[in-house]
Chains A and B, each alone.
Chain A
Amino acid sequence: MSDYTLEVENLSKAFPGVQALDGVSLRVRPGHVHAVMGENGAGKSTLMKCLLGLYRPDSGRILFKGEELRIPHPSVALAKGIAMIHQELNPVAERPVMENIWLGRFPRRRFGPLSFVDAEAMHVRTRAIFEDLELNLDPRERAGNLTVAKMQMMEIAKAVSYNSELLIMDEPTSSLTETEIAQLFKIIRRLRSQGVAIIYISHKMEEIFRICDEVTVLRDGKFVGERDVASLTIEELIRMMVGRELTSLFPKQDVPLGDVRLRVEGLSSPGAFENVTFDLRRGEILGFAGLVGAGRTELMETLFGLRPISSGRVLIDGGEIRIRSPRDAKRAGLAFLTEDRRSTGIIGVGSVTDNTIIANLLSYVKKPLRLLDFARIRTDTREYNERLRTRTPSYETRIQNLSGGNQQKVLVARWLLTRPDILILDEPTRGIDVGAKAEIHAIISELAAEGNSILLVSSELPEILGMSDRIVVMHEGRQTAILERKDASQELVMKYATAV
């Protein structure tokens, strides 16, 4: 019997044109939480997909409890005791929570030669798991009705229900609030005490130091090192990940603020938020803090013409304007980097070039035949992506083959090309590694210094506090405070965000 639940030795995997994993090792002990860190594109996902049997490694060995394991199919991984909570949630929306949890292994009841799904047993077992984990979820609720946070909790319950010996968590907290994170950590500590080995993937440094015992760092598909978290500082960890010194994560420059650019007065949208009022000045970064469901994203969607306004006014440079569609919003000088990169951001099968120019196509139409000017398209794509340091094999590569951070840079390039005055950035660094994050922060700061005005929505308090001139705090659709940079603290923001 081995000391380790999982031993990965010298694993390699290549895709056409990319060496995704190059001799990677990983050892996870039972009853330990083991962080796997690395920038996007470092090979974390590929490694996990090899463990789950979604990819076949080219070379190297995977030992599970000391025995060499071949995993031709995800069902084999599950049967052996390896389960994963995926970062991207894919619930069967039309079916109840409990069917999502027991999918593929419904409890059965026999009637002679026939076998039926035993809904009652399924309900009882689901409730038992929820009570055990202290989750407030109804097993009969339609999964599609759940908030993203509750869906995440459902996935966690599902993974736990397999009684696995190795549990992989990929960014499990990306859509959880502080209280829910505390609850998740309680579950993790309990699993740990039961001897479960846990692989924990997250970009949030603070979580690594709160919950993990060891950390393995990958960079460019290679193994960089394994350390005890207790003997490691944040700076050391970041250095291991990026292989260089990061000057500052929040390079906010002090910029003299100009005139009021955008004024929002008493804005409401039915069922989303009401009576929101704020000013945005030239060169200002206005942060929006709040918990999931505070209505921040909905507010931004309304400003960009994607939701109806029920009352209130929007003024740009002192003049009232009506925005009924994204086209109107673009004409008024707005740009909108949306929160959900996959569903409203990238055109996955499109090239980097196509994705860069899509919001700005009409400016490339050449008279007299109204054909596109590809020379200018190429120069602009190159210029803006170089400025943002997008890393891509070529500008004809499909954007879905880039890492999350690089996809995000292409989307920023898309909006900068429209030469906006006001940028709405909704969770601009969600799911992005620390190196790319610092770069995006630097870009935001630069844009403000150039006189652009920025609305910044983020669920990461350090980001909001580090980047904003002022902070609007929202709670369940209401605006509860506007804080000056010098007055704001985590505690104060949380107080208004939870409205206690």
Chain B
Amino acid sequence: MTKRGILMKNRLVQILNKYSLYLVLVLLVLFFSIATEGFFTVPNAMSMLTSWSIKGLIALGVGMVIISRGIDLSSGSVVALASVVAASFAQNPEVSKFGMPPVFVAVVLASLVGVVIGACNGAFVAYTKIPPFIATLGAMTVARGLALMYTKGFPVSQLREDFMILGRAMVGPVPLLAIYFLVAAGAVWVILNHTAFGKNIYAIGGNENAARVSGVSVELNLVAVYTIAAFLAAFGGMLMAARTAAGNATYGNMYELDAIAAVTVGGISHSGGLGTVSGMVAGIMILAVVENGLILLGVSPYLQQVVKGCIIVGAVIYDMSKHKRR
């Protein structure tokens, strides 16, 4: 091949590599639209959005944590704890606590659950230097335990209408849940691309020592990123209680792994310092489409798990092969 030809081919490969994720998403949508009856319909799209919005919220936070070269395993348990806390303050009939509307109290306290757990995660990672895997594994176990203690294992049900609407309302055909997710994705995009904090997170993930020498307050930034992640998870837990009309200590089981899987498929590197919000969103959508499409195809739930696992590993192998220079 001529030199010019080689350069053209390189250019094409570069472009394909850059957009491969979105290409895969489009191909999947096309495939399932053709292969199944009900996939390409508004109700199905809305049901997909509803079932993945909460995991999506979690994934956005976990994605930021992974960019800082960490990991957060506690999100699923935070969902559970926040759901039961929120539900317990939004029960019907319930007198208003602290002289404030019960819905407001429920939302604030659920969020606070996330902020406290996240700040603890961040502080352990930043100041004791224990690996993030261990710190958040501990938090995962503790938060689940607290949720069980708080409810003695029973669901917290009979919630107020005005609370449940938070998770059930529709804006036209679009569920409110999806709007929370889109707003959060926009906010995370702004944070990562347009704030000093976002740049610091990329720098810490890319080379913590270089960031420190450059005067970046590594510890405070880490506390902040874990706090944001757990806050998003807690908010998701509160929404889950609202949508299902109950808080439950068993909620959110394995959500953290789905979230990690989604952003990993979306090209967030576990070596830190790399990843985009559009990648995260595409990763989330790919897993949502595959799950939903396989159900519609009538594939057994067991096989679905197998497929999902293969997609996660395959995505990372492909992603890494793109960056190999040989």
A and B associate in one complex: yes
Residues of A within 8 A of B214 (CB): 326, 358-359, 414
The smallest beta-carbon distance between B274 and chain A, in angstroms, is: 5
8 A Cβ contacts from B204-233 to A: 206-207, 209-217
| Complex: A408 Cα to B41 Cα, angstroms | 55
Counting CB contacts under 8 A, is B92 at the interface? Answer: no
* Contact between chains at B195 and A16 (CB < 8 Å): no
**A354 within 8 A of partner (CB):** yes
Known contacts: A358-B216, A371-B195. The answer to whether A343 contacts B209 by CB under 8 A is yes
Given contacts A346-B207, A350-B202, A361-B199, A371 and B215 within 8 Å (CB-CB): no
Contact of A44 with B by CB under 8 A: no
- Give B263 Cβ to nearest chain A Cβ, in Å: 16
Contact A348 B206 (CB under 8 A): yes
Chain A, range 431-477, C-beta contacts under 8 Å to B: none
Write the nearest CB–CB distance from A206 to chain B, whole angstroms.
Answer: 31
Contact bitstring A326-346, B, C-beta under 8 A = 1, else 0: 110110000010100001111
The answer on a CB contact under 8 Å between B206 and A372 is no
CB nearest to B1 among chain A residues: A58
* A 344-366 contacts with B by CB, 8 A: 344-350, 354, 357-359, 361-362, 364-365
Q: In this complex, which of A14, A330, A344, A374 has the most chain B Cβ atoms within 10 angstroms of its Cβ?
A: A344
**Nearest B residue to A364, CB-CB:** B196
* Cross-chain contact A17 with B10 (CB below 8 angstroms): yes
| Docked pose: A373 CA to B85 CA in angstroms | 41
Q: In terms of DSSP, what is the predominant structure of the interface of chain B?
A: helix
- Kindly state the separation between the CA atoms of A14 and B10 in the bound complex, as whole angstroms: 10
> Within 8 Å of chain A (Cβ to Cβ): is B116?
no
Residue of A nearest to B199 (CB): A361
Contact between chains at B199 and A326 (CB < 8 Å): no
B196 x A344 contact (CB < 8 A): no
Q: How far is the CA of A306 from the CA of B212 in the complex (A)?
A: 9
Which residues of A are found within 8 Å of B190, using beta-carbon distances?
371
B215 adjacent to A327 (CB under 8 Å): yes
Residues of B within 8 A of A16 (CB): 10-11, 13-14
Contact of A55 among B13, B200, B274, B325 (CB under 8 A): B325
What 1/0 mask marks residues of chain A from 5 to 44 whose CB sits below 8 Å from any chain B CB?
0000000001111000000000000000000000000000
Contact of B6 with A by CB under 8 A: yes
Question: What is the 8 Å Cβ interface bit string for chain B, positions 184-198, against chain A (1 contact, 0 not)?
Answer: 000000100011100
For A374, what are the chain B residues with a Cβ–Cβ distance below 8 Å?
194
Closest to B213 in A: A344
Q: With A and B bound together, what is the CA distance between A362 and B213 in angstroms?
A: 15
| Cβ-based interface call for A56 (8 A) | yes
Instruction: Give the distance in Å from the alpha carbon of A362 to the alpha carbon of B220 in the complex.
Output: 15
Q: Which of A17, A348, A358 contacts B211 (CB 8 A)?
A: A358
| A350 & B10 in contact (Cβ 8 Å cutoff) | no
- B-chain residues with CB within 8 Å of residue A359 when the two chains form the complex: 214-215
Top 10 A-B residue pairs of the complex, sorted by shortest distance between their CB atoms: A347-B206, A359-B214, A361-B196, A349-B273, A371-B194, A347-B207, A326-B215, A344-B209, A330-B215, A16-B10
- Residues on B lying within 8 angstroms of A by beta carbon are 6, 10-11, 13-14, 190, 194-196, 199-200, 202-203, 206-207, 209-217, 269, 271-274, 325-326
Q: A16-B10, A58-B6, A349-B273 are in contact. List 18 more A-B contacts (CB 8 A).
A: A15-B325, A54-B326, A55-B325, A306-B213, A325-B215, A326-B215, A327-B215, A338-B213, A346-B207, A347-B207, A349-B206, A354-B203, A357-B199, A358-B216, A361-B216, A370-B195, A371-B195, A372-B196
